[in-house]
Every structure is written in structure tokens, then in C-alpha cells.
Amino acid sequence: MELPAANDNVHLSKYRPNLPLSVLNGRAPSERFDESYRHYGDGGSITSHASGALTGYETLDAPPHYDFYANSQAWGRRRRSRPSLYQLHGNPEVSNIYLLPALIIDIVKTLFVFSFLFFFFTQIRCMLNIWGVILYLRLSWITAQAGIGLTWVIILLSSTITGITGLSTSAIATNGRVKGGGTYFLISRSLGPELGGSIGLIFAFANAVAVAMHTVGFAETVTDLMREHGAIMVDRTNDIRIIGIITVTCLLGISMAGMAWESKAQVLFFLVIMVSFASYIVGTIMPASLEKQAKGFFGYRAEIFAVNFVPNWRGPESSFFGMFSIFFPSATGILAGANISGDLKNPAVAIPRGTLMAIFFTTMSYLIITATVGSCVVRDASGSINDTLAATTPIESCVGLPCQYGWDFSECFNNKTCAYGISNYYQTLSMASAFAPLITAGIFGATLSSALACLVSAPKVFQCLCKDHLYPLIGFFGKGYGKNDEPLRAYLLTYIIAACFIIIAELNTIAPIISNFYLCSYSLINFSCFHASITNSPGWRPSFRFYSKWLSLLCAVVCVVIMFLLTWWAALIAIGVVVFFLGYTLYKKPDVNWGSSVQASSYNLALNHCVGLNLVEDHVKNYRPQCLVLTGPPSSRPALLDLVNCFTKNLSLMMCGNVATVPLEKASSNSHVHWLNQRKLKSFYRGVVAADFRCGVNMLLQGAGLGRIKPNVLLMGFKKDWRSDSAQVANNYVEILHDAFDLQYGVCVLRMKEGLDVSNSSQSHASVAVELESQPTTVFQKKQGKKTIDVYWLSDDGGLTLLLPYLLTRRKRWARCKVRVFVGGETDKREEQKEEVLSLIKKFRLGFQDVEVLPDIYQNPQPVKGTWQRYEKCSPLSFYSSPLLSQFSFITINPLCQLQTLRQIRLNEVLLDYSRDAALIVITMPVGRRGVCPNSLYLAWLDILSRDLRPPVLMVRGNQESVLTFYCQ
């Protein structure tokens, strides 16, 4: 069977891009390969071919494979690559591309047992970080203040916030592969760098302060033990500082030793905590000894439960939210697993299961401990075994519930000197346990494990933030060392922050500070989940389905509200930090693209607004010059872009058009967009491939834009080489102007004395060589000072000639320029015509005050000025003759063209006289009648009109429809 004949006229292979070596699996195109590759034939059977020519009925289609979508390369084997579209449909006889088949080696390394172990490791890590200093040293005290009932509310409210946040975290963590960076990575890749960066700094700081909180809890316990045995170094506060600094230094050494040592230490701490819980539960069941009863422990009593169920606020700052602010840090360990996501084998499985199970078990433990300690221990006790209720003491004089159990603590209660009881003694759990040293060991395990977890989390989050290069001056701390890329510098920074807060040495002061930062982080996590869901982006496909976007939004709002209810000034500081770094990132616009939900939302918003514009009719009051600029490669004509940017920046559309006509050129290239972004030009880029330049421009004129967001003004540079170029090229240039007029475009042509094209002479109009670092300055980027913008409003084109200079004056660099409007008129009616124009401009509210009537523009050119001699040299029609122009050696075809020719020559003389020192000349462009005025003659008009002028000349012609109005509707 013969192959179909190829089209001899069209060879699209000329326009195919050169494939990089990565597509060729590292081989040059000329190399052959001897490995086999699978091809799919017409019948669907799979045949294996060795290297050689491919027939026209075979395809290189490859079945789906992991390597086609992965960004990383597996060690020890070559990464597969998906065949390009050209490789699939191109002619193998003309193609010089040889594909290297990928090796089909897929080894399953993740087994169920390993997944279970990593899930269990994540759960342990979260539980250890939740079971912290607050559990052992403040939960009983909070129960005494708020009562069992409100303490349960505090626990359940905290767990509800952390539970919903855990669901949101699980959804985000299962929507793609999670790398190192934990919470910051989740938020930044979901919401983008703007909010992700700021919350990354806040969360890293909160973890560093949490190290101090847990270390202070450990040091407080050690200090109390030392005081019980009479060992005091300085005083209680300074002892806590000294022990805290020594402890955090030792923890720093463990964490810097690597994850292996840290993981082993966490398992040991977990076992110690489990034993301490068992000791406490057994202790509450055992009969109370005299020593324990003297300290307020009487075993399970319904009366004690009833009394302790209601609140008993003590202290000036005792309130529900005051207790909540102290307790909430104990529920914030839920992200401990997510913070080490880079060290997990399967974070998408380990993070959801481990986090949610940790929240459940720790919440149950808090509820149980609150109920048990509130059922066994009274609020106040003296601790003296001599305070038993004597037989001679009247029961009426005894105060408090202990009187029913034979103890009289009335004296210390009345004097407020009771040292024991859940309202006074922070070590109540140790006192109630079966073996107090086990509780002490549990306190050591909980505080040290939580401090260690935070000490590991904070540097890893901060390292990930540093490597993204969102903020200056922090990259120093992002450097990693060793095979595990340990952030040693970030460890030292965390150590310094923790040491500074350890100096405070007061647990009840540090805890509320952390609460606001954690609440801010949780609010952003929940908002990330909501925002990603509400945008309906096809990329939002979390494998974890048990979440609700509206529940996430509610939790985000609740977190913000609670922040202000806890400490309003701390909430303002946290939000202020977020807003500051948000503004910085929005201003700097870092070159990152993470496919965030903000991008998806921007697309949805733009699409909805574009469609919505279709429902609104155009109105002259809302007219904006939406410009299609024929730049070729944008970097080749920067002056043209800089001028148009003054019209369109933050106001309307600018689109750079590039027509590629030479084979092997790339009309569509990201390098052009990068150049525009680097120059800070708000513009779109559109490239097309066409047989000739006019056809390509026609494609742009008809197809550019979206809905009502489409160009209505065509801008291009003046073709100064029209005389030396071919007649066909010059003819096409003028026909492009006619095509634009046919499509109801306004037309602008810019001419500068030094020219517009800054590309190399070897580059064509559609060259693709773009130097991103090359950013030449132009006159339109500079402040113009107190110069003038001279507007020659010679014909009414709808007002575009006046509108463009007005838009210029709204820019800071043009604001000091004075606009002068020149119009044609008659000598005897000069003042009258000036008042008419001034009155019209005033109604337009343009603010132009300087109007001058030029009656001499209708005179014949003055031979003494030599303008006609210059035109004679450039005119393509000097072989004609006419009595009207017998004084000149050139003529035109038609009387109308004759008058226009004389007028352009005279206008050039006027421009030289009046506008030699202007910053910019804006003049109404003449229109050549198609079929009457030869294209070469029309180019001669534009040439002589703008010749030898020092200022840039912008020739403008609207589409004869009004763009200015003085009506209010």
C-alpha cells in the first residue's frame, strides 16, 4: 500500500521547534538507538521494532506512565519522556529525530507494613506534640478556674478547631505530592506565595516560641523538685532561666544530630508518657493516704465533682478566653506530622490518618484527666496533716467541702494561703498518681518531646521558605548540610529565638503569645482549603474526601474572632505581619508558579467579568484605547511599547503582535513574555505564523482579544526604509492601514528620529532572539519636565487625537508637560475659531487651556525653506506633470492628491517652526483614498510630514466614531 502524497506547497515541519536533548533522552538527533520501543499499529496490536525507518501507518503512542508526569528522576535508570505531537504525526522520511525508548522497569517499594509504620510514626509525633507542658502543669489549674463543664467546652472548642483544621490539612496534603516545608509548603502551594510566605514566617516563629514554652515547663518542674529537696541556685525565676537554657542547648545537639536520633528519642518519650498516664489512673483508684488527703486528694467523690463542675474564677485576668488562651497551645501539635512531610515516605497517607487519630486520642485523654482530677481533688488544701477536723471543733465553723471528709482547711482558705489543691498546686497530677516519679518522668517526656518536635519543625519550615527566595536577606539560613540537607543555620536561629523567650520564665505569659500565631496559621490553612474548593479548579482533586469547604470557612472565621477575643493587640500584630509581607510579595511579584488557588480564582473572576461585559453595550463614556501594537519581538521596539504603556497602564488593554514569516522562527515564545514582565509592561503577547506580513497582521486584527476585551487601536512604527525596500513590502504596509480602517480600528504611527528598531541588523521583523537581561532605556521612560505636548488637531477623527495626549498627562513623568492644541483656521476669524475650540475642549473636561489657530497651514509650501526639494527626492511620482504644481518638478495623479501633497509639505514646515522643542508631537494622520491615492505616494506624505523633526511624532487617526463626549449619559 502506498503512502498518501504529501502536500508539496506546505511544509509545517519548518515551523516545528527544535527538540531539546531531554526529549531525546540525552542523545543527539544523529544518533541511532538499538533498544526496542513499542509501537501501536492500525489493528491495535503491539509490535516491537528495532531501530530503523518507521512506516507511515505506525505511531509512537506510548501508554500512560509515571515518568511522563513526575518532575524528578529515579536513581539508577533513565527517565521516560512522552513523545511530542510532531513525532506522532510528522513524516518519518523528512524527520531527523530518533527516539530513545524508555526502560520498562517499575519496582514497587512501598508495602502495607511500611505505610502503617509511617502512619503510626506521624500519629505518635502529633500526640507527643499535643501532650505537652499544659497537660501536666496547667490542665488541673484550668479545671479549678473554669470548672469541669467549661474546661470540657474549652477542650472541645480547641479540638473542634484543630479537628477541622486537620481535615483541611488532610485535604491539602492529599492534593499532590507534599515535599519538605510542612505547613508553609501546604499553604503557599495552595494560596500562593503572597499569603503562604507571610504565614510561613509566622508559623516558623510560633514553633520557635513553642520551644521556649515547653522548655520553661520542663525547667519549672525541675526547679520545683530542687526546691522540695532544698536545692536552690539563685531564685525560682533565675533557676528556670538557667535550666531552660541548658535544656534547649542539649535539645539543639540532639536535633542537629539528625532525624534518626530525634525519632528514637520521640519513641522513648512516648513510652514514658504512656507509663505516666497509667500511673495517674491507678493513683486515682487507690485509696487516699493521709498525706494525699492533706493535699486535697480524696478519691472519686460525687460531691467533689459537683463542686468542681462550676467555675471559680480567681485573679484579675481569669476568664473563659483567658483560660482558653493558656490551654490552646496544648492542642496545636496537630501539624507536627505535616511539618516533617519531607521526611515521610508516603505523606499523603500518613498525614491524614496520623493527624486525625492523634486529635481523637489526645482529646479523649484531656477530657478524662479533667473529669478525674475534678472528681478527686478539691480546689484548696493546706498540705498539713495536722489540719484534720477535731472532735471539739464545731462543724459550723469549718468552711469548704473537705469538712465532710474530716479536714479543716478554713484557715488557709480564709487567708488565701493554701499551697495545695487544684487551684494552687501545679503538680497535682504527680500528687494524685500511684508513683509520683513516673508523672515527673511523663512531664519530662511531654515537655522535652514537644520542645524537640518544635525545634525540628521550625528550621525545616524556615528552610523551605528561604529556598523559595520570596524575601531578601533570609537566604543565608536556607543552606542545608549533609545528605539529609539539614538546616543547621536555621537551627541556630531557632535556638536564639527560643533562648530569648526562655528568659521570660513565665509559662502563663508565653502561652497566650503562641495562641494568636497558631490561630492565625490555622485560619489560613482552613481558608486555603475553602479557597481551593470554591474555585472549582480541575487541579483540586484531593484523595481525602471527608472535608467541607463551608466548615473550613467557618473555622477560619472563628479562629480570627478568637484571636481578637484572646488578646486584641497580639491579634493586630499577627494580622499586621501577614498584611505587611502580603503587600511586599504583591509588590515584588516573585517569579514562582505553584498553580495556587489564587491563580484559579483570578481566572474564574476574569472569565466571569469578560462574559459579563457581553451583556453591557459599549458607551462613549467608557471608551478606552485598547491597543494592538505591531512590535515583532517586543524587545526589538521598546520605545513603541513604552509610549503605548503610558496610555494603557492600569487603564486598558495592550497586546504585542508578532508575525513570523521566516521558516524555523517561533512566533509564540515564553521569552517574549518574560521580557515584558522584566520591563514591567502590562501587556499580552500574541504571535502568529503567516505566509506574509499583511496576512499575519490581518489574523491579529480579526482574532486578537476576548469578547469585548479586544483591540480597537492599531499602533505601528513608521517604515522609514520604504524607498529602498521592495514595492510589494511597501504596498503591504499601506494595505495594513487600510485593513485596520476597514475593521473600524483607529490607527497610530510612531516615528522617531533615531528609529524604533534596536535589534541587530541581521534580525528580521519577526526575530526571536530575546536577551532578557537587555533592557535599553528610551525617552518615554524619563521624566519629561516642563516641556510641551503639541497636538495638531487638523481633522475631527472622533477625538482620539485629543484623548491620547490627555491620557499621557495623567502619568507622573508627563504631568508637568503643557499641552498645546493647534488647529487650522482663517486669518480674519482667528479669535472666534479659537474660542470655539476652547469651549469645545472645556466641555470635554480635558483641562487643555492653550489653543492656537494656524491659518497659514493652508498656504503653499515656501520654496525658501527647501521642504519641497526634500520631498522631490523622496517622491515616487516625480515623472508626472501638472500646471498646478508647475513650480515644482514633481506632481500627483489627482487634484485631491495634489492638494494633500502640498498640505503635508506645508505642515512639515509648520512643525519645524512651532514644535522643534516639544516633548512629543501628536498630529492627525492623513488618510489616502484606496484606489485613488497610490500607496507609494501615501507613504511619501507620511514621510515628508514627519521628516527631520527632533521630537517623536505620533500620527493618529481615529475610526471617525466619537471617543469623547460632554454628555452625562
Residue 815, φ and ψ in degrees, nearest 5: -65, -30
684-705: per-residue pLDDT in tens? 999 888 888 999 999 999 998 8
Q: What is the pLDDT of residues 462-506, one digit of tens each?
A: 888 888 888 888 888 888 887 777 888 889 999 999 999 999 988
Contact 769, 900 (CB under 8 A): no
Mean pLDDT of 931-948: 86
Identify whether 48 is part of a domain: no
Q: Are residues 822 and 704 in the same domain?
A: no
pLDDT in tens, 388-404: 876 545 666 777 888 88
Go through 407-441 and write b for each residue having 16 or more CB atoms within 10 A of its CB, e for each that does not.
bbbbebbeeeebebbbbbbbbbbbbbbebbebbbb
Q: Which of 20-24, 135-139, 530-534, 553-557 has the highest mean pLDDT?
A: 553-557
Give the pLDDT score at 63. Answer: 65
93 in a domain, yes or no?
no
> Is the separation of the CB atoms in 824 and 869 below 8 Å?
no
Is there a single domain that holds both residue 288 and residue 174? yes
113 pLDDT more than 50: no
Say whether both 932 and 807 belong to one domain.
yes
Specify the pLDDT at position 865.
Answer: 59
Q: What domain count does the chain have?
A: 3
Strand 920-924 relative to strand 953-957, pairing: parallel
> Which residue in the block uniquely carries the three cell numbers 464545731?
394
- Find cell 459550723 and name the residue: 396
| % of the chain exceeding 90 in pLDDT | 22
**Cα–Cα dist 64/104, whole Å:** 12
Report the candidate in 126, 121, 182 with the shortest Cα–Cα distance to residue 355: 126
Of 747, 782, 817, the residue that ends a domain is: 782
Predicted confidence band of residue 115 (pLDDT cuts 50, 70, 90): very low
Whether 30 is in a domain gets the answer no
3 state DSSP class of 670: helix
Cβ-contact 450, 335 below 8 angstroms: no
- pLDDT tens across 658-679, in order? 998 775 555 557 788 888 888 8
Grid coordinates standing for 436?
509520683
Please give the Cα distance from 123 to 357 (Å, whole number). 7
Flag whether 771 is in a domain. Answer: no
Radius of gyration of the chain (CA): 40
Q: What is the pLDDT of residue 44?
A: 36
595-616 per-position pLDDT tens digit: 777 777 778 888 888 888 888 7
Give CA–CA dist 651/674, Å, rounded.
21
Cell numbers 504644481 correspond to what residue? 885
CA distance 79 to 764: 39
pLDDT value for 73: 56
Is 559 in the same domain as 700?
A: no
CA torsion through residues 98, 99, 100, 101, sign: negative
Question: Do 650 and 507 belong to one domain?
Answer: no
C-alpha cell at 57: 501507518
Instruction: Classify residue 72: in a domain, yes or no.
Output: no
pLDDT at 921: 94
> 10 Å Cβ neighbour count for 17?
11
Residues 548 and 695 grouped into a single domain: no
Q: At what angle do helices 236-256 and 488-502 cross, to 10 degrees?
A: 170
> Same structural domain for residues 795 and 669?
no
Average pLDDT over residues 611-628: 85
Q: Report how far residue 325's alpha carbon sits from residue 457's, in angstroms, rounded to the nearest whole number.
A: 22
Confidence of residue 138 (pLDDT cuts 50, 70, 90): confident
Q: How many CB atoms lie within 10 A of CB 33?
A: 15
> How would you classify the pairing of strands 953-957 and 746-751?
antiparallel
Would you call 690 helix, strand, or coil by DSSP? coil
Per DSSP, the three-state class of 196 is helix
Q: For the chain, percent helix, then strand, then coil, each to nearest 5?
A: 55, 10, 40
**pLDDT at 177 (0 to 100):** 67
Please give the pLDDT value at position 713. Answer: 94
Looking at the structure, do residues 467 and 510 belong to the same domain, yes or no? yes
Average model confidence (pLDDT) across the chain: 78
In which element (H, E) is residue 698 found?
helix 693-703
User: What are the tens digits of pLDDT across the range 519-563?
Assistant: 888 888 888 889 888 887 777 888 788 889 999 999 999 999 988
60-71 mean pLDDT: 59
The reply to whether 736 and 672 lie within a common domain is: yes
Render the burial of 523-550: b for 16+ CB within 10 Å, e for the rest: bbbbbbbbbbbbbebeebebebeebbbe
CATH number at residue 167: 1.20.1740.10
Domain extent at residue 904: 787-875+892-953
Average pLDDT over residues 102-117: 38
pLDDT score, position 591 = 72
Q: What are phi and psi of 420, to 5 degrees?
A: -125, 180
pLDDT at 825 over 80: yes
Q: Which residues contact 419 (CB under 8 A, 6 or more apart)?
A: 381, 382, 383, 412, 425
Position 444, amino acid: F
Instruction: Give a yes or no: residue 595 inside a domain.
Output: no
Burial zone of 14 (CB within 10 Å; 0-12 exposed, 13-18 middle, 19+ buried): exposed
Q: Give the amino acid at 355.
A: T
pLDDT at 55 over 50: no
Looking at 767, 782, 797, the residue that finishes a domain is 782
* Angle, helix 320-327 to helix 549-566, in steps of 10 degrees: 110
How do 746-751 and 713-717 pair as beta strands? parallel
pLDDT at 581: 85
Output the domain CATH number for residue 646.
3.40.50.620
C-alpha cell at 964: 469623547
Closest by CA position to 882, among listed 892, 872, 873? 892
Number of C-beta neighbours around residue 40 at 10 A: 15
Nearest-angstrom CA–CA distance, 632 and 675: 13
The angle that helices 139-173 and 549-566 make with each other, rounded to 10 degrees, is 140
- What is the pLDDT averaged over residues 748-756? 91
Q: In terms of residues, how long is the chain?
A: 969
Residue 111 has pLDDT above 50, yes or no: no
pLDDT of the residue at 448: 82
Average pLDDT over residues 151-156: 94
pTM above 0.75, yes or no: no
pLDDT of 455 reads 87
Q: Is the predicted pLDDT of residue 12 greater than 50, yes or no?
A: no
Grid cell in block for residue 501:
523567650
Of residues 331 and 561, which shows the higher confidence score?
561
Residue 140 and residue 280 in one domain: yes
Q: Is the pLDDT of residue 106 over 70?
A: no
Confidence of residue 969 (pLDDT cuts 50, 70, 90): low
Longest dimension (CA), the chain: 145
Across 915-925, average pLDDT = 92
Amino acid in position 248:
V
Sheet holding 654-660, edge to edge: 684-689, 654-660, 627-630, 713-717, 746-751, 953-957, 920-924, 788-792, 818-824, 850-854
Note whether 355 and 267 are within 8 A (CB).
no
Is 100's pLDDT higher than 80? Answer: no
Q: What is the mean pLDDT of residues 815-844?
A: 89
Sign of CA dihedral 736, 741, 746, 751: positive
Q: Name the more confident of 918 and 78.
A: 918
Does residue 512 belong to any structural domain of this protein? yes
Confidence (pLDDT) at 225: 85
CB 308 within 8 A of CB 422: yes
Residues 131 and 244 in one domain: yes
Mean pLDDT of 844-860: 86
Q: Is residue 74 part of a domain?
A: no
686, containing H or E segment: strand 684-689
Between helix 436-467 and helix 182-191 the angle, nearest 10°, is: 40
Same domain, 692 and 574: no
Residue 178 to residue 122: CA distance in whole angstroms: 14
